[in-house]
Structure 1
Amino acid sequence: MAPSNQLAPDALPPGFATVQQIVEGDHKTGVFINSMGVIIDVQEPRATKGSDWKSTIRIYDKSVEDNDESSLTINIFLPQKDMPKPARGDFVVLLRLKIQKRGFGDISLLTHRESGIYLFTGGKIPRPPADASPAFTLSTSRVKRALSKAELAHIPFSYHGLDKTRIPTEFEFETRLIQSRNFKEKFSELKDLKDGTFYDLLVYIVRTYDSGDKLSLWVSDFTENQGFYHHEYKGPNTALVQEGDPYGSCSKLTKELPATSSWEGPFGKRSMQVTCYDNHAEAIRNGSGAGKGHWVMLKNVQVKYGQNGANLEGYLRGDRQYGESKVNMVLLDSHEDPETMDSRLYRALERKRAYERSLKAQKKQIDDAAAAGQKRKSDALTGAKPLSGAKLSRREKRARQKNAQNAQNAQNAQNAQNVQQPETSVSAQKMNPQVKCENHTKPTSPLTDVLTKAFADLDIEGEEVKLPMPFTNLNYRVNVRVTNFSPPDILQFAVPKKTSEYDVLEDDGDSDSSSGMEDEDAATDFSSWEWRFALELEDSTPDIKQRERVWVVVDNQSAQCLVNLDATDLRRDAETLDLLRQRMFLLWGNLEEKKLEQRQEAKKVNQFRKGDPPPPDSSDNEGDGKNKDKEDFDSKVSNLPFNCCIRQYGIKVRESDPTKADAGNNKRWERVYGLFGTKIVED
């Protein structure tokens, strides 16, 4: 009988999960978990897009020792110099690894920035009750702790109580290792596909079509292949192609679907039809999550010319080696960490973004040309004389030249050097002690200086010219008080986060997101929230006659600093809402209370004015818009001035007037201000 202070071989230390519990889905994907086991397979490290390399190991433990097909795969991302080099039968302890499941693939574990890997030489692990310390060889831990005495003491029980017949021989282990090192890459981009070959493909699903006995996918990786069918864009509502199979190689499929349907892209020879049979089609039908708009890895796809002999097609059939249970499709996550993302997916995302930008510009040219044709036709009917092609070209050339000059001006503004802020004499003044900001030793600036437009000194052909800049990249410390906020309801200060599949890509300086504009195609994630509100600040610098006001944006990061809270759904999270309201009260005093009273009074007055519209929810001047009303409202608000940091910067906004599009490409620069480095502190 084992001593009472010793664990049985199959009883893991607290906080650990067995291999069986993990692979059978007892724990949710995405959570972090601890485990341990004996190594039975290792794949050589390979370079990834980022600084980390990737290696894969497989382990088993007592819970699955009788099931030769059950093991746990560990995907390790580390710098090459830190990669563990385990031998067959070595023991590994894993701390804080992430559970993941891709598409139809098995559950596996993935290292994270806070993961720990502890390696022990199998042949040196002593028998219990001694602990495993003498066998310890390597730690690649990013966890801020060493293994506990209980964990070290359990390893001998786990190792020596295990049936080791599943550990491969030295020859088998080395053979697999060499095979992983010399693996013949079947992967190919669509542009390189050739007739009569099997490939692994990383593709984006454009469309799916189910004909009952098989299922067809239209896929693309946004490269072009001359063997593909050509989808042509001819203008709005004219891009019509045959649904499912435009060249008629699958007669059953086309009979059950409309003859024509709008093709949304990608256009050109960028898409290939892949017909899925057997378990592959069934897996897609049965809620795999793979469908239109998803990235997938398709393995062992046969590529050959279809029945018409003119276009390449793909065929995904059952795998004879593994039987019908094997599904050669893996669902990929285009939102994962770029450091661990498959470099091939990263490059495909870059191509997709570049294609969509190019298509947007081309569509505009075609649509504008079509609109111009309609205009000329209308002019002919009314007797108006249309502009000649030469005049149109000259006009467009002048607009391009002006836009180019404006773009250069904006670039000069971005490169302008920060000017020294003037020191303002500050009289004795009672400041809000519960608001702190960065750079408190720097002098404050009055808002008049902040709002004054700057000029760049340019030398044009030997002549000095002062050019007004649309904005400057400057930081300020100001003395202000809050006079308004937006949205008017504090419940709306947190919003669902909008995400885009391009978030993982490095900014190339020409994206809407980089310029402060929202991505039109971004998806709303209701499981993730972010702060988004604005404050109107009034200059509280002593001894000044004109008290300027300015609206400042409080983005998610600045708000986290300001209130020391993470954004949530405030309509469902009463605790966070109460904390937010308490902390904002320390900043703006009774402002929220007075705004609420004002809205209630306006609502009562409006009840007696039949036919009048209700008062607006939010405006710079709430009430009837008269200065007296605003002055009366301001006199009722009681709050203390405070020091804060604000920054001036520019964002690109759409501009239909070419003469005002100083940011180029139908966009202009707009000057905005944002709060940063300011924090509310509680007693």
Structure 2
Amino acid sequence: MSGSNPPSRFVDVSTALSTLGRVSVIGVVVDVFGGIFKSRGSSSCITFTIKDSGLDNGHTWDGLKIKYFKDNENALPPVQLRDVILVRDLMVVKRYGNQMGVASDDNDIPWAIFRSDPDPMSSSAPLCGPSPFEPTSSERVHALNLLNSVASIDGFRKAATEHIISSHGSFVQAAIPNSKPFTHRRLTLIQDVEERTFVDLVGEIVKIYTNDSEKVLLYLTDYTTNESLENHQVDDGGDNDFGDVYGYQKRSKKNWPGPVGRMTLPVTLWEPHASYARQYLKPDNVIHLYNVHIKRSRIDGMVEASIHTNRPNANKINVRTVDGQKGEGVEQFFQRKMEYWKANPRKRKQGKESEPQQALKKPNKKQRKKAERMEEGQVRISHATNKRYAPNEQIQAGNPSVPVQSLETILSNKFHDNVSYDNVEYRLPFQNFCYRTTVRVVDFFPPKLEDFAVPRYGNSDSDDETGTNNSTGFVRWEWRFCLLVESVPPPPAGQEKERVRVFVAGPEAEHLLGIDAVDLRRNSTQLANLREKLFLLWGDLEERKRDALHGGEKSIHESGPVSSRPFNCCLREYGVICRHRPDARDANGDSDCSDDNCFGWERRFSMFMTTIRD
């Protein structure tokens, strides 16, 4: 839509928040997220939030967040706090369950900024872009009224805030904990927590993961036992310990540093508690948690906990470190801790496992004879096996705290078994579960990389700078392809190795590849980037498949095994209408499935929260 064309009438922010599609909106800028940054494509982006009511309610999460993309950074709206901005023809989409405004680079989205000037003789003319235009009289009057209302407001957040740079370099705002005490809730021991309750907890941080931009995961213990928690053992701490965030340092194997058994509760902290935790919390800290929501995990059914944003006061922090050994429940905690480690002595800060120390021991006579019989160049089977099945560190999967399961275990998930009210046993065709597994790619579809991106018609549901169809005939492209994967390591002898089709599409594919979808038949540069990126995922598989297609071979495996390495990934299980339905309906108009075991549904898996790091 050109800036010179007459706009449709603007709507208020609350209407925009309940709408999907294009709107014109005017509001006060109450938050600017970190300034201008580069998107995954070629565009620059600025993110800000606007409101036109409740400006003095002390929070900004109830406003409309807007992402504005432009290749030319000078065409972005230079918004500042307390500005009033008009945005015409803004696309409102749903992202992560919330409405968001997206101004894509492919559309000319007019904006006008009204800003207070200390000079009373100055002109009230707004700053307009990307192309010059003149706001209508109704737009100007409404904007100036909002600008006048801002003058009497001291700030848009009640609690004092400070700027924090997270470990990933992204800009966040974390509220300073309130000086006044929290509303008191019943202090509860981990042994007494029950799902669907809100409690206060005092405990020690066993582990903490801060590498997620939206949340922080920590493991808390107060040295009491709850049978609904995961059973931790001394040697189960290594799978979740990564090296540096850039992948240059190899991961170190560490023992579980906390108490063994069912004594540790996983707690997820959402904003603003997550930002506070990234800066102030570390392992071994004793902390007090307030308003903790106890629930059951949808993955393994174990008890877990979370602390969400405080709606009455969005800046309130429900986490505090404990100073000294005084306070409600604190003395009792330290007493339990002392008694546990006195009864279970071991080195808690053990770094690498004791293999190097064991290697220094002098071998006995039997071990020396066995070593002499080994031929030159032989290696121990256990060492070779571990190295062969070690996951590719360039492929990183989210949720590092979730245990890895094999494909065989996933496909035979006992939670799919069910019994009806009349005691008829049956198996559900699918469940909406999420898993973490280790696999390797053995094939893919479509057979040509040029077909991995397809045109998408309809409204956009993401905040990327690529747009949607409009009157100019622009076509938005998205990723859509399928991987055939097999379980790693292979199952024990006598058990069949499972293979599963994994579908990768849309935003999750963009997260995996880090590349925006385009017409690959017309963009050779992006095709080369895709080929190079996928080489990290599957080795020479695509090259072998390309040669097989040109050479007329029936299988890419005829010339030997491919070089694809195992990697960790997150899989989402879901269901679609099954493919067994007959084309014609019967005389009663029914369309029953010909497969008695599928109940009309087909079980499928898609990849998510997995990314390829260069």
Q: TM-score, normalised by structure 1?
A: 0.35
Tell me which protein shows more helix as a share of its residues: 1
Q: Structure 2-normalised TM-score? A: 0.38
